[in-house]
Structure 1
Amino acid sequence: MIRYGYKKALCVSILLITLLFIAPLQGIAHPHLFISTQTEFVLNNGKIQGAYETWIFDRFFSADIIQGYDLNRDGVFSKAETQDVYNNAFINTKNYAYFTFIRQGNERHSPEKVSDFSVRQKDGIASYRFYINLSQYSGDFYFAVYDYTFFCDFRYDEKTPVIFTGASGKTPPTYTIAENRKYPVYYDPFDTADMTTMYDTWKPGLQTFYPREIHITY
């Protein structure tokens, strides 16, 4: 089990993942964990069937994962070590909608489950990779990765935020990434890290966040 010698509990308690380490810190409205994301959309005859998300962590959280779960220190996560990461340092993100949101029209949805989870590390940087089924979405849609509690800072990879793989068909999709100010997200800066409440409408005391969305068009 990972032991922490510093107060990183806000986002660590979300991603790591046991409530044993939650510190009731309040009044802190800035991110405590930084994550770069890449999304690989899988095509079949030009239609998106799903997506592999990759989360690349900052060096501090990476050290926690590597030191806590690469038990034989060989630089590779074995099947058993990967399962430990999944059980103890990933699955709790289900309570936060896997930080993944798909929007068509004015409604946002999140995956109920993910599959094909893996973890790796390179040069001291850890990353997760997992698959989301998107076959139920037809036509244009918006895909976004963010933390609606604002404790984690998800940013799309600057060089390769989106990849398309598979059979592209005659009219492969394209994408743009932009901040959508028509569909904001609201959060309470005084919530603790174990709070999972999503605020659909603004009320006094809430802050406003505008997610950057990947707009998939055909």
Structure 2
Amino acid sequence: MRRTIAAASLLFGALGAGSASAHPHVFVDARLEVVADDDGNITALHNVWRFDEFFSSSVILDYDANMDNQLTGEELTDIGDTVRDSLEEYDFYTQITDNGEDIKLARPDVIHADMRDGQLLLFFEAKPEKPIKLKGHLTFGVYDSTMYTAIDFHQDTDLVTIGKAFEACQTLVLRPNPDEVISQNKDALTAAFFNDPTDMSKLFATKLDVTCD
């Protein structure tokens, strides 16, 4: 019997916000590419996630069906399919705002999994559920609202835009200062962490900020 449910729960905070301990248990190095066509429409978001070695080793234990201490073929496909099912209710951790409106993602066709140098990698292309034009103020980010998984962009160049339409826009990587966020939102944060921290976690997330005419 495959042990996919337990692994998925640990991996992606499927325990839910109420069960998360307000600090991360899984660590991910990420890259996000926001793609636009020549008409100024956002067409896709490309995600690449590399998981920490400790968690990656636990994934091998759960998904290594033939017990060869490697993940290949159907084992990797199984991981990708499980992740796609598990993360749908979390909007695949990918957050978009279009002039203040939250935009949901359509379900990716596939999530590709690979294991390199002892670390699990996931690759997938996501598309906005509704059309987005490069106009006004948009933000793009990847973070876990339950705070179970820490998703980090080590360099500003890990959040990039692709397409000539972005040449008419100003882009900026925003890295909120935790001390400033806490100082500016002290009362709200105190109440949130005692009740439900999920709405406040976005205040601490790194985002790609795009402003267009």
Q: TM-score, normalised by structure 1?
A: 0.69
Structure-2 change in CA distance of 1:158 and 1:67 (3 Å):
farther
Aligned to 2:164: 168
Aligned to 1:85: 79
Question: What is the letter of the counterpart of residue 29 of structure 2?
Answer: S
Alignment map for 1:65-214 (pairs within 5 Å): 65-71=59-65, 73=68, 77-78=72-73, 80-134=74-128, 136-138=131-133, 139=135, 140-158=137-155, 160-165=157-162, 167-168=163-164, 171=167, 173=169, 175-179=171-175, 205-207=195-197, 208-209=200-201, 210=203, 211-214=205-208
Distance 2:72 2:168 in 1: 35
Distance 1:153 1:75 in 2: 25
Distance 1:28 1:74 in 2: 31
Deviates more, 1:82-91 or 1:94-103: 82-91
1:115 is paired with a residue whose SS is: coil
Structure-2 change in CA distance of 1:119 and 1:170 (3 Å):
closer
Deviation at 1:143, TM superposition (A): 0.6
Deviates more, 1:81-90 or 1:138-147: 81-90
1:150 is paired with a residue whose SS is: coil
Deviation at 1:112, TM superposition (A): 3.2
The structure with the largest helix share of the pair is 2
- 2:32 equivalent to 1:42: no
State whether residues 81 and 110 of structure 2, in contact with CA within 8 Å, keep that contact through their aligned partners in structure 1. no
Distance 2:10 2:101 in 1: 25
1:37 is paired with a residue whose SS is: strand
State whether residues 2 and 64 of structure 1, in contact with CA within 8 Å, keep that contact through their aligned partners in structure 2. no
Deviation at 1:39, TM superposition (A): 0.8
1:120 is paired with a residue whose SS is: strand
Over the residues paired in the alignment, what is the CA RMSD in angstroms? 3.8
Question: What is the letter of the counterpart of residue 82 of structure 2?
Answer: N
Aligned to 1:15: 11
Q: 5+ unaligned residues in a row in structure 1: which ranges?
A: 4-8, 190-200
The structure with the largest strand share of the pair is 1
State whether residues 62 and 126 of structure 1, in contact with CA within 8 Å, keep that contact through their aligned partners in structure 2. yes
Deviations 1:58-100 (A, max 9, x none): 111211223433545485632x223311233442111212111
Structure-2 change in CA distance of 1:172 and 1:15 (3 Å):
farther
Aligned to 1:32: 25
Distance 1:115 1:27 in 2: 29
Q: 5+ unaligned residues in a row in structure 2: which ranges?
A: none
State whether residues 84 and 111 of structure 2, in contact with CA within 8 Å, keep that contact through their aligned partners in structure 1. no
Q: TM-score, normalised by structure 2?
A: 0.70
Q: How many residues align?
A: 191
Identity %: 19
